[in-house]
Amino acid sequence: MPGRILHARYSQYMAKVAELEPELVAQLAEHGARFTHHSSIAPTGTISLSMGNNASNGIEPSFSHRYFRNIIQSGKKTKEQVEVVSFELAAYRHFIAADAVESDLPDYFITADAVTPEQHVAVQAAAQQWVDSAISKTVNVPTEFPFEKFQDLYLQAYESRLKGCTTFRFNPEAFQGVLVREDDLKNTTYVFELENGETVELSGDEKVIYDGEEHNAANLFDGLKEGTYGKW
């Protein structure tokens, strides 16, 4: 069977399009298309941050109005934490109050942690029916989220016919992640064992001199634990 027929008449996505534009789908079945997929929602974090002043989060709400992003810098032995503010906060500071902080923003400027995990999945499901390729979407899960409910998120995603489900739960024992909130850093203690057997405890946001270079304690801990120290 020709690919144009499979694409136009047997794709569930094209069947939905045919409900609105039957003539278009009939033409695709007859003549074919120059592409196999119509749309996707791509990851936009790094691109929007470097080229658009953090203006677009794709299908995501802002991760936080003020947070740190771990970035690989040439010549540094660990990742460097760079402070980032959301586009909403940057715009509010520009147009309303230059010294504004997160709490000054209107309550309709919500962040990812203000949306429940179940709502994150539901938002993706609402978009998925009109996206025939992939969707870049992260379900932010609170650290204290019960395992049973965590498990149910994937069942909800499956029952909603999602093509994929990505979750993120801050867990410094496993890894820190690319995006980190200031409170998470301050409230996490990292224990370093020295060569003489002594231990040093530091909060994640503290600065420490190691190997002749200043590092963020959390990133130094991760670099040493994961074996990435000095490899950038």
Given a cut of 80, is residue 91 above it in pLDDT?
yes
Per-residue pLDDT at 169: 87
Q: What confidence tens digit (pLDDT) does each residue in 1-16 have?
A: 899 999 999 988 899 8
Per-residue pLDDT at 175: 65
Contact (CB, 8 A) for 105 and 96: no
What is the model's pTM?
A: 0.77
Which residue has better confidence, 227 or 56?
227
What are the boundaries of each domain within the chain?
A: 1-36, 181-226
Among 43-47, 74-78, 150-154, where is mean pLDDT lowest? 43-47
CA gap 151, 70 in Å, rounded: 28
Which residue has better confidence, 173 or 186?
186
β-pair type (213-216, 207-210): antiparallel
Given a cut of 70, is residue 223 above it in pLDDT?
yes
DSSP string, the chain: --HHHHHHHH-HHHHHHHHH-HHHHHHHHHH--S-S----B---HHHHHHHSTT---TTSPBS-SEEEEEE--TT-SS-EEEEEE-HHHHHHHHHT-TT--GGGS-TTS-BGGGS-HHHHHHHHHHHHTT-SS-B--EEEE-TT--HHHHHHHHHHHHHTT-S--EEEE-BTTTB--SEE-HHHHHT-EEEEEPTTS-EEEEETT-EEEETTEEEEHHHHHHHHHHT-TT--
Per-residue pLDDT at 94: 95
Per-residue pLDDT at 159: 95
Given a cut of 70, is residue 176 above it in pLDDT?
no
CA gap 14, 138 in Å, rounded: 26
Average pLDDT of span 31-56: 80
Averaged pLDDT score across all residues of the chain: 89
List beta partners, residue 106. none
Average pLDDT of span 102-109: 93
Per-residue pLDDT at 189: 92
Q: What confidence tens digit (pLDDT) does each residue in 159-171 have?
A: 998 989 999 888 7
